[in-house]
Each structure stands twice: as C-alpha cells, then as structure tokens.
Amino acid sequence: MSRKYFGTDGIRGEIGKAPMTPDFALRLGWAAGKVLTKHGLPLVVIGKDTRISGYMLETALQAGLVAAGVSVRLLGPMPTPAVSYLTRAFRASAGIVISASHNPYQDNGVKFFSAEGTKLADEVEEEIERYLERDIETVSSEKLGKVIRIEDAAGRYIEFCKRAIPNNISLESLRIVLDCANGATYQVSPLVLEELGADVITIADQPNGININENCGATSLDLLIQNVKQYRADIGIALDGDGDRLMMIDHTGEIVDGDEAIAIIAQHKHQEGTLGNDVVGTLMSNLGLEQAIKNMGLNFHRADVGDRYVMDLLRKHNGILGGESSGHVIVRDRIPTGDGTIAALQILNAIISSGKSLHELKQVMRKYPQTLTNVRIQKKIDLNENASIQEAVQKAEQQLGSRGRVLLRASGTEPVIRVMVEGDTPVETQQLAEDIAVVVEAVSKGHRRHTD
C-alpha cells in the first residue's frame, strides 16, 4: 500500500495546511485509537514539544482517542525519547509525540511509538490510514476514554536518564554549556546534568511557542560555540527541538557530530566489553566512522537514512549502538530510539572514565572531507538505470579509488537528488560533486551534457 500521510518519521507539515489541521488531528486520534488498542490496553500517552500549535493538536488528538474509547495520559512538554520511555513505563498501548523535530515553529507533526517504545511498523501505519478514510463512530458514553495529566512525568524521565551512567560517575569536574533549542528538553535535560554534579550553563531554555530551533540547537551551533568559548567550558551540548538529536562542541570550539559521537561511544563500550561486535550507521555516515569501527575489530553496517532503518539493522545484528551523522544516536541497551540526552551521557561517562577531553576522544575517528550537493530535479530519475549518471559516478569513483566514496540518493520529501562525495581533500570532493551534479541536472532537463 502506498501511504498517503505517513512519511519516514510520522506525519508532518505546515500548521493550517493539510494534513496539519484540527479536523485531521481529530480523525487521526480516532483512527489511531481504533488500531493501536485492538489487542492491548486502551491507554495512550501524549507528549509534545514547545510549539504554539501543540496545544491545538493535543486537544484534537485526545478528543479523537476518547471517542474511540481510549484513555489518555498527558505528559506535557516532553522530549520524544521520554515519550518512548514513558509509553513503556505506563504499560500503554502506544505513545504519541506532537513535534516537527528540528523544523521551524510553523511546522508540526505527529509520530507514534508502539507499546515497546519503538517506531510503529509500516503495516500498522497503513492500517491507521485505512481507518482515516472512515467516518468517526463514537463509542457509547460509558465506554468513552478518560484524560489525566501526569504531573510527575518530567521527574520520571530525569531519573531514567541518570541511570544511564554508573552510580560512581560524577560530572562535578565538568563545566557544560547546554543548548536546549527552546524545545522539549528545556525542563528536564538541565536537571539531569545538574543532579549528576555538572556545572551547567543553560542557553535557549526560554520557549515562547515560536522560537523553537531559532538560531539555536543541534541545527544551528554558532550560539553554542560562542558560549563555550565565553564561559571556557569543557563541553557544549546541543539538542534539537524534540530532544532526539545531539551535537557537541569541544573546549576548542570544534564540532563533534553524530558520527564522531558514535565512534567515541563505541570505543568506550568496546573497552568496557559491553558493546558486542556490530555498529550501525547509514548510507550517509562518514567513511572515517566505518574505518574507525573496523580498526576496533568490529563490524560496521550501513542502513538506509532514517533512525527506524538504523533500528531495524540493530535488531537484525543484535547490536546496541547506531545512528546518523545528523546526531540521531541510538544506545539500544538504554532506550530503543534516538535520545540526545542519553547519548550525551554516554560520552560524558567516557570523558570521566578515561580522563581525556572530548577533543582527545574524538581523535579515534579521522573525518573524511564530505561534500553534499542538492540538485533540484524537474522529473523523476532512475539513478541506477541512467547511463549518463552512472558514467559520471564511475569516473569519480575511479579517481577516488579506496580514498573515498560516492553516493547518490533521491530525497524522500522533496524533488531533490542528493549527491555526496567523500575524499582526501575538500577541493577534490567539491569538484567531483559539482561534476556529477551538472550531469544529474542535465538529465533532469531531458538532455545529455557532452563532456570530454
């Protein structure tokens, strides 16, 4: 079945435009309630980030769920991974997050967790879509669901996070600047770090409904870099609007991205003997991460882009660590979804345990220069079948040899082909990416560019 509403991470869009409207949210709540509670307790927990539109969608969703006979527990502003944890803690049949993650405030979205705290299977999302085509049928009054607000949700998640590092590890020697992106972590993540002993300077922790991700957070690091230098901090931690993404800054002001975070955590857990043999990245993961993992004597696997696909490969290989360059890091022996706070704690544990700085630890991985070029296309292109594009890719691969790699992939959300090239130098990767992009653009316009 071709899904009409669900993308790779739930349903997302601009508020006021289909499907992000109150009437759709009402129908979605009812449809989800009918499907998710067929074989489980008719109970769903709902969390949200700090967008002003979250109140509207929350009210509509809970009305639809109640009409389907489902009781609701409202968690309030809460990171996406916290909803995953609390879904399991409350033995709920599902969890719902109202968030558009790193998008600007004008957007919002709805994503679901199963009773196990994992992303919904494709077939469950497809069944919800089938129910969306039906008229709402309200259960009889005595079977209507009830709504209760959970007052201690934040405290439950804070204690869960603190258990992610050993009891004998204190962060009292660390000064940390924490950027909460004016998002869902603004209440909980500062307290986690403070209660573990760190000297915490918190920024972007004053959400007003429209400043989420605005020049702050994991997708905009200039503010964090500035504050790390100003306060002479040991580390900067940036989370995104819904708290499932992590980027870090070392004491020199250098960025530590998701690939480097995975390499650091992998090295520490491997030395502890708690990692296993397999680590999962994606097609976009830097070649340096793959080499670092293999240098540890471990297996590295590449999933399609998207944390649900990373999780699928982790299950397949019984691995506990995986993620994406963008900062989605899954530490599966702690929580079955990406969690920026949990991932940060793993790295802080490695810093304290090793006595090394973040700058020193990230040297475990040599990061290859990577150029990513987006080519807007006018028509759909079969990348594997087009001779001109394949010829351009092969030419670049021959030049790079074992020193790099080339990847072309179509965006799942917009008419764009992403051209990624890794190599020894930024100049080389930039030139090769541009050469391939020119060919892709020519093919999109319906003609072949002649080259020497």
Residue 246, Cβ density class (10 Å: 0-12 exposed, 13-18 middle, ≥19 buried): buried
Question: How far, in Å, CA of 336 to CA of 327, rounded?
Answer: 15
Question: How far, in Å, CA of 3 to CA of 126, rounded?
Answer: 6
Q: Dihedral of CA 195/200/204/207: which sign?
A: positive
Residue 134, Cβ density class (10 Å: 0-12 exposed, 13-18 middle, ≥19 buried): exposed
Rg (CA), the chain: 23
Question: How far, in Å, CA of 85 to CA of 337, rounded?
Answer: 9
Closest CA to 336 of 160, 140, 123: 160
Is there a contact between 250 and 237 (Cβ–Cβ < 8 Å)? no
Distant-in-sequence, close-in-space partners of 339: CB < 8 Å, separation ≥ 6:
79, 81, 84, 243, 244, 329, 330, 331
Could you list the active site residues? Answer: 101
Q: Peptide bond before 19: cis, by omega within 30 degrees of 0?
A: yes
Tell the residue number behind the tokens 């940060």, with chain if given.
Answer: 344
Distant-in-sequence, close-in-space partners of 300: CB < 8 Å, separation ≥ 6:
278, 279, 280, 281, 289, 290, 293, 294
Distant-in-sequence, close-in-space partners of 173: CB < 8 Å, separation ≥ 6:
352
Question: How far, in Å, CA of 83 to CA of 67, rounded?
Answer: 22
Residue 345, Cβ density class (10 Å: 0-12 exposed, 13-18 middle, ≥19 buried): buried
Cβ burial 141-170 (10 Å sphere, 16+ → b, else e): eeebbebeebeebbebbbebbeebbeeeee
